[in-house]
Amino acid sequence: MARLPSAGQLNLKQAVGQLLVVRTSGLLLDRQRLYPHWELTSAALEEAIGHYGVGGVLLFGGSLGDTSIKIEAMQRQAAVPLLVAADLEAGCGQHIGGATRLPTARAIGEANDLDLARRCGEITAREARAVGINWVLAPCLDLQSNPRNPVIALRAFAEKPEQVARLGTAFAAGLRSGGVLSAAKHFPGHGDVEVDSHLVLPVVDRERAQLEREDWLPFKAVLAAGIDSLITAHLRVLSLDPDRPATFSRRILSEIVRGEWGYEGLIVTDALTMGAVAGWPEPAVCALEAGADVILMPESVPVAVDQICAALRQGRLSEERLYASVARVLAAKAGLGAATAALVDLEGLDGPALERQIARRAIAVDRDRMGLLPLDRTCPVLQILVVDRALDGSVLPDSVLLDVELGFESYWLEADCPPAFLQFLVERAAVSGRILVQVLTPLRAYRGSAGVHGAAETFLRTVAGERTILASFGNPYLGRDFEALSTVVNAFNNSPASHAALLERLES
């Protein structure tokens, strides 16, 4: 791996490059790319690292072996060691095949155990370091303060700021002990929104006093404990800066985070490819003017470099300001040392056991008005598996075996369900002793809604009553939309471990 220079040893072009982080994957071939619009081709990645000298990469997807090979190749090519980042809020297995997939932050929050949160952070960090990832973009410190939030949901540890602060700090401590950089996100708080910033720009209408008292409490806690980076949110906060998204707001980044809070770590933009900031002129320049240090996923590296260099020539950005950010980036890299996969100790880690433990503790019965739990094994059960499309989820193989193991009559309910089949399901429900509706649709970016699809909503409203059990693996607030349902159980996580834990709860 290349030696780390000082900021003063870099020329202007090299300095600008250090502030950019581009998206790639752990896959080795261009034809394997899942998101070709965002993930650079091999040639473009080679140009970004070799010619423009980008400071880091953001990695999604790939197997343990392929990811390790690709990261090693990228580091060999880089003149300055790279930051290799990944969104691993739910363990290294969230994006790296073969690694441990841990429960969501909300499942950890339901378990409400600081040691479990710390261990999740440590396992994530150690597995990440083993393949060459050195920057984990977690924890998410947003509050789940709006049940209609389509993008945060299970990514938040809890609704209460004190609980988010404790668990987020513990998770970050685990990351630190595992030898990776951490990132608190999404400042100034992404919890109280009803639209997805991947698609459009949300607006937060909270007074500063409420932000200080609630949304900012977790951020201040992790900053006090030591967090390496702070990721911005693409949203407008009317009480702070009504004209600009937080990512482009000098008031929020420079005056509050740097000035009032005295934070000296990295300030990082959320991805500039997101719909919330689409069309914003010169976004990389605006983010640097506001006080950001790192530009995550610029639409075009050449364009971003040209615009930043033009801003320097025009005096909109000073070299002093630029090199201050470069110094922070290099300081973060220096703090990582030169550990390699051979030096990462994975002995004693049992991620699957930890996942099962949290999954069991996270299961929560929201209500059981008619005492349907535990299930009466002598009563016929109609099971409906709500999915966006069939075979779209890792828990389905376990689910479809229930008709064999427990005598359930099972059907999938897809988003494009034909009306005739929906009517068939309603008729089957009418003659069934119990109706178990398992909602497996994920809450994810770009979906745009926290609710179920239309076919599922129609079915649930038709069969809602004293014989129906709703089991949600995603949105924990679905029960509020269907008050007539007798029984509601939440798993707060969509994985085989959580599915098994929920079945245990239904039977015991």
Q: Tokens 């390699």, residue?
A: 340
What angle do the packed helices 351-362 and 496-507 form, to 10 degrees? 40
AA identity, residue 237: V
Q: Please state, as a whole number, how many other Cβ atoms lie within 10 Å of the Cβ of residue 274.
A: 21
User: Residue 93 CA to chain centroid, in angstroms?
Assistant: 12
**SS3 call for 194:** coil
Residue 177's DSSP bridge partners are none
The answer to whether the Cα torsion of 361, 366, 369, 370 is positive or negative is: negative
The answer to whether residue 198 is catalytic is yes
- Give, in order, the Cα–Cα distances in Å from 198 to each of 24, 275, 292: 18, 5, 20
Q: Which entry of 198, 234, 453, 499 is annotated as an active-site residue?
A: 198
CA dihedral defined by 190, 195, 197, 201, rounded to 10 degrees?
-100
The answer to whether the Cα torsion of 103, 175, 333, 347 is positive or negative is: negative
Q: By the 8 A CB rule, do 227 and 156 touch?
A: no
Q: Which entry of 270, 293, 453, 499 is annotated as an active-site residue?
A: 270
The closest of 22, 6, 11 to 304, measured between CA atoms, is 22
Rounded to whole angstroms, the Cα distance separating 390 from 67 reads 29
Radius of gyration of the chain (CA): 24
Let me know the angle formed at the C-alpha of 59 by 54 and 65, rounded to the nearest 5 degrees.
Answer: 115
Residue 156's DSSP bridge partners are none
Q: Helices H, strands E: what count in the chain?
A: 19, 16
User: Residue 503 CA to chain centroid, in angstroms?
Assistant: 26
Phi, psi for 13 (deg, rounded to 5): -65, -45
- Give, in order, the Cα–Cα distances in Å from 414 to each of 24, 439, 441, 456: 32, 11, 10, 8
Phi, psi for 256 (deg, rounded to 5): -85, -60
Q: By the 8 A CB rule, do 198 and 274 touch?
A: yes
Number of residues assigned to the chain = 508
What angle do the packed helices 64-77 and 42-50 form, to 10 degrees? 40
Q: What is the rounded end-to-end Cα distance, in angstroms, of the chain?
A: 55
Q: Tokens 């980044």, residue?
A: 253
What angle do the packed helices 301-314 and 283-290 form, to 10 degrees? 50
**SS3 call for 280:** coil
Catalytic residue annotation: 198, 270
